[in-house]
Structures are given as C-alpha cells and as structure tokens.
Amino acid sequence: MTPSQTIGPFFTHALPYPEGPLVVPLSQPHSFWVRGKVFDGVNAPVPDALIESWQVTDEFSGFGRCPTDEEGNWALHTVKAPYLVLSVFARGLLNRVVTRIYFPDQEQLNATDPVLATLDDTARATLLARAADDGYTFDIHLQGEHETTFFAL
C-alpha cells in the first residue's frame, strides 16, 4: 500500500474565474465587501485556500471566487441576500466544505430560517458575519475550538 496523498495547493492556478471576487460590479447599488480569513486547526492562516460563493438571485449570477493571500485573507464583493453560501477548497481537504453566512442586521429573516433553527447557539454564532466599515467580516475556521459550522451536501 502506498501512503495517502493530499491534493494541492493548486487552487489559485487551476480554478481561475474571470470576475474573481466581484459577484456584482463595484458600482452596483447597495453592494458591499465580505472579508475574512481562513484558519486551520491550530489557528494558523491558510495561504492557499479558495473561497467560492453563490447566492440565490434572478438579477445576476450570484457567483464569485477568491483565493486567500499569504495571510489567509479573502474578500468578495456582493449584495445582500438572506444568506450567502460559501464553498472552501483547501490543502488537506479531499472534498470542499460548505458553510453559510448570515447577516446580523437581518434578525427577522434569521429567526425564521429553517437551517439556523436546527443549530444550537454556539454553532449558529459561527455563521453570523460581523459588521465592518465597508461591509462585513466572516472568518472561517476549518477545525479547532472555533470551527465554523459546515453542512453535508
């Protein structure tokens, strides 16, 4: 038997997307940035991950893709929806992991969301973005004490 192998890191080279992090143009009314960092199980930044987003909409593609930089930073420019879906591709993951971003200023929508209703307070807190000057912040913890809630598809 041979030892197992991990894939990557090749995400920034193998999965380019022409619009990159621009889910909507910068000039789109009511648009904003969602920014964050990806952390591994020992809380170290992941410099070679890829964040992919989609959201339900009839008005635009709802899709964006952003690699992390050397410090694990990522950013997507979008507009508000009840939630954003993120896929995370990273070294050591044979399959992507999927999570959601909910917005703290949409309390009524969050209170009636059937997915959030199934989660305890600790898990729910990992899915809430934090307000920032130019939009929101959402860090992703792949493992560990602050692990983000991920969903099986």
Q: Residue 27 belongs to a domain with what CATH number?
A: 2.60.130.10
C-alpha distance from residue 24 to each of 2, 20, 34, 99 (Å): 46, 10, 12, 21
Number of domains in the chain: 1
Task: List pLDDT tens digits, range 46-77.
Answer: 998 999 999 977 777 789 999 999 999 999 99
**Residue 35, domain member (yes or no):** yes
**Residue 86, domain member (yes or no):** yes
Ranges in the chain, pLDDT < 70: 1-18
**Residue 14, domain member (yes or no):** no
**Residue 151, domain member (yes or no):** no
**Residue 68, domain member (yes or no):** yes
The whole domain housing 137 covers 22-141
**Residue 11, domain member (yes or no):** no
**Residue 12, domain member (yes or no):** no
**Helices H, strands E: what count in the chain?**
4, 9
pLDDT of residue 146: 93
DSSP state, residue 66: E
**Residue 37, domain member (yes or no):** yes
Q: Which of 123, 136, 139 is nearest to 38 (CA)?
A: 139
